[in-house]
């Protein structure tokens, strides 16, 4: 708890009005890869408490659409449409697809993580399943020029998922932003140039 309170990114998030330190992960990746642009349709999976949606909405400057989805409740953000539900459930996926109103997506962001059980093998498998669901959604709804940024945990299934990403995108890169804790096995895979 003390580490969290003293954390530079936690303090900066409070100072700048972001809901979580995770905002800085997306800010850093976006500064490098220029993912967020005015006029886009952006889907933010695993959005609560909303820091990535805050960053996306600010970059779009109300010219574009941000649709956020999470199992947990999320306080409203100007310019963001929020859907609460389990992304693995067909009805929730249908609600998200309906919110797109037939439009194709420019960017899918997935910071989804499973509720941790404490059993490493179980948590890893659940995390990989969420990444696969995000990739499946991106495959269906991304524009050919679109991108997918997805959180994955290094471990069992990581290499296989990376190969799936490489089958789906022209370019796949690994990003480990400074705001990601060193001891965490999380990295972000960025797929650009959707194939097919």
Q: Which domains does the chain have, with CATH numbers?
A: 20-194 (3.40.50.150)
pTM (2 decimals)?
Answer: 0.94
Element (H, E) at 81: strand 80-84
Give the residue numbers annotated as catalytic, written as ranges. Answer: 151
- Give percent of the chain above pLDDT 90: 85
Tell me: the pLDDT tens digits for 6-48? 688 999 999 999 999 999 999 999 999 999 999 999 999 999 9
CA dist., res. 35 & res. 42, Å (int): 10
Beta-bridge mates of residue 142? 105
CA dist., res. 110 & res. 57, Å (int): 16
Using 50, 70 and 90 to split pLDDT, how confident is the model at 196?
Answer: confident
Residue 2, pLDDT above cutoff 70:
no
Degrees to nearest 5, angle at CA 146 with 186 and 55: 60
């Amino acid at each position: 708890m003390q580490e969290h309170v003293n954390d530079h990114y936690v303090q900066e998030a409070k100072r700048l009005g972001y809901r979580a330190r995770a905002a800085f992960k997306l800010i850093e990746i976006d500064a490098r890869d220029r993912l967020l642009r005015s006029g886009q349709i952006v889907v933010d999976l695993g959005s609560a408490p909303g820091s990535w949606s805050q960053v996306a909405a600010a970059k779009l400057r109300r010219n574009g659409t941000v649709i956020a989805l999470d199992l947990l409740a999320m306080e409203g953000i100007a310019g963001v449409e929020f859907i609460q539900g389990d992304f693995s459930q067909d009805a929730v996926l249908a609600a998200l697809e309906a919110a797109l109103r037939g439009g194709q997506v420019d960017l899918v962001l997935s910071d989804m993580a499973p509720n941790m059980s404490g059993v490493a093998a179980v948590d890893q498998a659940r995390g990989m399943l969420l990444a696969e669901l995000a990739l499946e959604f991106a495959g269906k709804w991304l524009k050919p020029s679109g991108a997918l940024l997805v959180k994955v945990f290094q471990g069992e299934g990581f290499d296989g998922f990376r190969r799936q990403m490489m089958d789906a995108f022209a370019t796949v890169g690994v990003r480990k932003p400074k705001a990601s804790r060193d001891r965490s096995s999380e990295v972000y895979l960025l797929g650009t140039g959707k194939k097919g």
